[in-house]
Structure 1
């Protein structure tokens, strides 16, 4: 019996959903919605909400909010019905893509990434902020459906245990309500704040609610008296209009009480009058000002309470002309004047922006989304830094500044002249030395103020400095400064390298690798890059470096004057080996002192030869070693043949790899994961330089043989963004 009632209720909810969206979906959408309803009813047959109802009720109610209160269409409805299936491991991303569409699959996948926040763990909080923004940057419907899901949860919160109620209320108040506000979803934001307050500050919530109910009759009478003269004048002027009176939300009244330190009876604007005009877009602004004139002819306005969000809309797209006037009995009344389009956007936010796309005033939200993407492109050192940047764009007030041509630009509170310069163009920012603000010279760290007219002053000799990162706060400026600093350092390294190689050539030193290793060891540097940087900055004396190399060379020459010990013939089983016999190299060889040459790092499988040194025994070189020709030509009598013997499986050889590709986000992580995790290769070192969107890296790894190396090079070359991966000789 109960099962029959529940099935009937599911059917009624489904029909209600179809009635709500009948004007915004196609026949194919209806088929997809019906298919999704049947699927989730089956998948969640045994799951119940905290109130004991079938879980599918919750899914249909979320979809209904998406339609009725946000204004989304068929794709979003299906995604809302399926929104928990990946998280609950009932469907996979591929299954949703095959059964429905790639778009729906991507939305559901994005929703699965937004996990619950833990207010006690800032690191986890930062990661969740990151997921929210990532999904917003690809498809805003993910965020809108998540907001609908959270609103439905808050409406059903009374059935939850007290600790869960507090946790969800905290998340809603600190994350979801401000996010709804930023997307222009005023109705959702207000209800979320009220519901969150209901469970976090129940006493004040019920007190304000009780007082609002007690004053309903008196308030309605006051609103009728206030509207009467205005309606008459608007009708005479021929306006097509609607006038509404509504009380402010419980939370907004409580917030005013806290801010001003007053009681409920002392909050003078507990309700607002809204005049909504049915005007065409080309005349809606002038019509709003005419209505303002009619209202202020009847009632005295407070000039300090005039808010013109028509000429300069808020960044979330909100447009309205707001004023506060003295109504009947000397009471203050807030009046909002807006067109039907403005009211639609104010109530339904981002979804209404899609409907009115193309109208110039609606660029505000698009600009905000672009700012979010800039944050994503800015690397941060810690998750907390990311949270700070996100909150900055989400909550803080904005500053409006003008270019000399009169173009209006918006920035977060605290932005500086340098932020403004980089926003104009990265080249302008890089060469910025100051600005003229309202005709007065100011430094680059000067904070922007509302209404400033700014003319940037540049110098061709100026370039970004490290301390600039402490001046700017916008993601775009930080990203460009870091990029310029990296490019400048790469230029210094290239210059130092070129200077050193030119000097080595002049000094007639042919073995450059050995010379650089000698200098690095002498100066006690951790990397060759440090050597190049010191030379480019003129922090080392090249004459002194020459003396170091000459001394090392003379020491080697002195060693060569010592009479060589005659090379004893190699004997095996009592017989002398001929010159055509091979020296067998493996780890069991104990009667011959040998080393693998660092100039070419031979590995098992390479074609090799041995070279008899004076003090270090026999060194094994690859036949393709860059020094091979010189050794054969000058010291042919010290060259011996060699070949590999089969080695143990766990034997490893060190070799160097050069890898070149596009410098894009995550490339280093993909390379290191392939080497260490996928192929289980031991990596000794990894260095990388980037310039003009490209990178060149050097990796030292341990491999078992040439086949192992070939597999590694092939897999590296298949990584997205990698152009080539090749083996190189010598140390990195």
Structure 2
């Protein structure tokens, strides 16, 4: 354990103006409040914050950060309060300590929720001051270094998984490669000890076989550069077991097939020498195609800059070489801590990190801590692709991103109104995968809104959060509108006047704060219109009892025209409050009935759908629904069953006929095939049942069509 005077001397070594008195006071404060507390290793608890402070001295952080490290657990684990900390150390230290505190006193429902909520608070705190994250990472690093003392295997694995999923990517995002490597490797040792041990054994074997080889390669590269008057420091390093394991998994190769287990680093004085050194190496040795990356001209979002290349180097060995300046090397190792600015009073360093702003955007759109945590993992835990806007702005996105992800990365409003995209000047589908270097132009329309289908192909956390937020708000409106219609219909059937004043009197009974909440619950199917009616008019209970039996579906007579007592569904977005049954594919003009499903709203069936027989015993779930025959551009899917002659051109003829009749084939499945015939199901987008009937008539008049009918079931 680092002693008090040793800690002060460490900080004074890089900051002669350190507030020694404050450091000493914090050291004693931590020892006093943690007192006789013990860690699971048996060591005094105050050894932990002192070791965390020691880790931060290696990064040469300011005295406020060191003091925060010493105090980061006193509020959580002792009787000290934030007010006490502020009184003794000032507002700045109190704010930092509050940001780092794990907040385990939160009364949350589950361990997962607690973890998600803690992480949400951490993001908010580090958005104001990135030092919060640095202290938290040092805290996690020391906890991982002592993880072996935790007795519960389940707890060890949970901590390791949390570290791998959240804290290692966070370290990478602020450019702290050393922290990232250490956190990943310590987690890997817990999560897959056998895998790590096997890689370590192979590395030891290679080390024994190739110590002289790596030295010879370094000496040769140094000599090659010196010959061209380039002053460079060349070194070689072995990759960590986890990075080797991950590459083996990603590329699906064996250990022996990896060519870059050893990475060689060339450090020069300035950027001009970087490119000069690259020219020497490429001119001296064969280059491996497709392995050159220029992170100097296109810097990584975390500030990392370097030239990466792969060559068939000295003694015909394939090696990876990284070329960078001394300043780039410091940033690559220590990230944000390498170009520290807090000593000059600039405490908003975190604002320059685009990824942090993205997390704040996700936080704004997420409905709960768990959803925020899920989207954050998507944002941080993927490799990246770099694209450009038409103005030349660089946008970094997760690998596999689409134009919709790009649009949301530019601005939430651009994403919400995106209708099309041009990639490198050509129109593409919104689900197209973007590649490195693509120039993306987003086409927008004020009339556009996010489609729920977008969530199926977007990959960035921000895009998913924004789309879900829109769908969530729209669903609330849709369920509310549906619920109000169901209540109005229930009141009309019983001969009562529907008034919001009457409903307001029963809000407390149903635990609703406002009428909108009541409409929403009815629309979702958690309450029936009849339950609300009986609550408002208790006398309706006996009068209406005989009407609680649902008529048999096939005997139920229903006009295709709008009815005063029917709930009108046109205008409600399919897939939200209203769902069209896939067993019968109802179309405007069909006689229909609705089945209420708790949490999903109403599923619409045709009146002769065989599936309705399964709901005979639950009459309370039936609701009369009808189409609103006002002009609507909404398209619906009708399903056709066809038998077609098996001859050249028959499928082309079908699609031509459907297209000429303004139908659009959305799906086609061949269910049976023989020498003479095809049997198939075709889904066609049409306006209504009359439109589908016209297409059926046109198909029946075609020579290659043996039979065509509307499919059921």
Q: Could you state the TM-score of these two structures normalised by the residue count of structure 1?
A: 0.58
Q: Is residue 134 of structure 2 the alignment partner of residue 147 of structure 1? A: no
Partners of 2:334 and 2:222 in 1: how far apart?
Answer: 26
Contact 1:314–1:364, Cα closer than 8 Å, also in 2: no
Q: Tell me the CA shift for residue 486 of structure 1.
A: 7.8
1: CA distance, partners of 2:413 / 2:136: 40
Deviates more, 1:236-245 or 1:425-434: 425-434
- Verify the 8 A CA contact 2:384 2:399 in the aligned structure 1: yes
How do 1:208-247 and structure 2 match up within 5 A?
208-247=199-238
| 1:17 matched to 2:7 | yes
Question: Which of 169, 173, 189 does residue 164 from structure 2 map onto?
Answer: 173
Whether the aligned pair in 1 keeps the contact of 2:362 and 2:465 (CA below 8 Å) is no
**Structure 2 residue aligned with 1:656:** none
Distance apart, 1:203 and its partner CA? 3.0
CA change 1:238–1:486 in 2 (3 A) is same
Q: Which residue of 1 aligns with 2:96?
A: 107
Aligned to 1:462: 447
Partner SS state of residue 301, structure 1: coil
Question: Do 1:82 and 1:108's aligned partners in 2 also have CA atoms closer than 8 Å?
Answer: yes
Cα distance, 1:326 vs. partner? 1.9
Cα 1:205/1:379, change in 2 over 3 Å = closer
Q: Residue in 1 aligned with 2:119?
A: 129
Which runs of structure 2 are paired with 1:674-713 in the superposition (5 Å)? none
Q: Could you tell me how far 1:122 is from its partner in structure 2?
A: 4.2
- Tell me the TM-score normalized by structure 2: 0.60
Distance of aligned partners of 1:162 and 1:271 in 2 relative to their CA distance in 1, 3 Å threshold:
farther
Out of 364, 378, 388, which is 2:365 matched to?
A: 378
1:66 and 2:66 equivalent?
no
Other-structure match for 2:353 = 366
In 1: Cα distance, 2:110 partner to 2:253 partner: 33
Q: Which residue of 1 aligns with 2:316?
A: 330
Aligned to 2:41, the other structure's residue is in SS state coil
Please list, as runs of the form range in 1=range in 2, the aligned pairs for 1:276-675 lying within 5 A after superposition.
276-279=267-270, 284=271, 286-354=272-340, 366-380=353-367, 382-413=368-399, 415-421=401-407, 424=410, 432-442=418-428, 448-459=434-445, 462-464=447-449, 467=452, 470=455, 475=462, 520=499
Q: Deviations over 1:472-523 (max 9, x none)?
A: 6563796599689989x99xx9xxxxxxxxxxxxxxxxxxxxxxx9774699
The answer to whether the 8 Å contact 2:454/2:467 transfers is: no
Q: Aligned in 2, Cα 1:276/1:474: closer, same or farther, shift over 3 Å?
A: same
What is the CA-CA distance between 1:189 and the residue it aligns to? 1.3
Q: Answer yes or no: is the 8 Å Cα contact 1:84–1:112 preserved in 2.
A: yes
1:680-711: CA deviation from partner (whole Å, max 9, x where unpaired)? xxxxxxxxxxxxxxxxxxxxxxxxxxxxxxxx
Matches of 1:128 and 1:405, distance apart in 2: 39
C-alpha displacement of 1:147: 1.2
Is the contact between residue 221 and residue 234 of structure 2 (CA under 8 Å) also seen in structure 1?
Answer: no
Corresponding position: 1:75 with 2:75: no
Q: CA deviation at 1:63?
A: 0.5
Change (3 A) 1:299 1:78: same
Q: Distance in 2 between matches of 1:402 and 1:181?
A: 23
**2: distance between equivalents of 1:363 and 1:238?**
40
Question: Is residue 138 from structure 1 mapped to residue 128 from structure 2 by the alignment?
Answer: yes
Distance 1:130 1:215, change over 3 A: same
RMSD after superposition: 4.1
CA offset digits 1:78-118 (Å, max 9, x no partner): 00011110011331101111111211111111222355999
Following the alignment from structure 1 to structure 2, what is the Cα–Cα distance between the partners of residues 181 and 224?
29
Partner of 1:53: 43
Aligned twin of 2:188: 197
Q: Which residue of 1 aligns with 2:526?
A: none
Q: Does 1:252 align with 2:237?
A: no
For 1:398 and 1:165, locate their aligned partners in 2 and report how far apart those are by CA, in whole Å.
30
Q: State how far apart, in whole Å, the 2-side matches of 1:151 and 1:162 are.
A: 19
Contact 1:317 1:363 in 2 (8 A): no
Contact kept? 1:469, 1:478, Cα under 8 Å: no
Between Structure 1 and Structure 2, whose CA radius of gyration is higher? Answer: 1
Partner SS for 1:336: strand
- Give, in angstroms, the shift of residue 249 of structure 1: 0.9
Name the CA distance, whole Å, in 1 between partners of 2:279 and 2:178. 28
- Mapped to 2, the partners of 1:256 and 1:422 lie a distance apart of 30
- Give the equivalent residue in structure 1 for 2:633: none
Change (3 A) 1:367 1:174: closer
What's the secondary structure of 1:53's corresponding residue? coil
Q: Give 1:90's match in structure 2, choosing from 56, 70, 79.
A: 79
Q: From the superposition, tell whether residues 44 and 481 of structure 1 become closer, same or farther in structure 2 (CA, over 3 Å).
A: closer
CA contact (8 A) 1:147 1:180 kept: yes
Relative to structure 1, the CA distance from residue 40 to residue 290 in structure 2 (aligned partners, 3 Å threshold; closer, same or farther) is same
TM-aligned CA deviation for residue 217 of structure 1? 4.9
Aligned equivalents of 1:452, 1:262: Cα separation in 2:
29
Q: CA deviation at 1:288?
A: 1.2
Q: Cα deviations across residues 239-294 of structure 1 (Å, max 9, x unaligned)?
A: 44321111111222233344455554443322111111122xxxx1x321211111
Is the CA contact 2:293–2:307 (under 8 Å) kept in the aligned structure 1?
A: yes
In 2, Cα distance between the equivalents of 1:476 and 1:256? 28
Aligned-residue offset at 1:302: 0.7
Deviations 1:575-609 (A, max 9, x none): xxxxxxxxxxxxxxxxxxxxxxxxxxxxxxxxxxx
The alpha-carbon distance between structure 1 residues 313 and 102, as it changes in their structure 2 partners (threshold 3 A), is same
Structure 1 distance, partners of 2:110, 2:292, is 41
- Cα distance in 2 for partners of 1:265, 1:426 equals 46
Superposed displacement of residue 452, structure 1: 2.8
Shift of residue 180, structure 1, vs aligned partner: 1.6
Contact 1:317/1:349 (<8 A) preserved:
yes
SS at match of 1:346: helix
Residues 448 and 205 from structure 1, CA distance in 2 versus in 1: closer, same or farther, beyond 3 angstroms? closer
**Conservation of the 8 A alpha-carbon contact between 2:76 and 2:103:** no
1:561 aligned residue? none
2:492 aligns with: none
Q: 2:24 aligns with which of 30, 34, 40?
A: 34
Task: Specify the SS of the correspondent of 2:310.
Answer: strand
Relative distance call for 1:292 and 1:16 in structure 2 (3 A) is: farther
Q: How far 1:74 sits from its partner (Å)?
A: 0.7
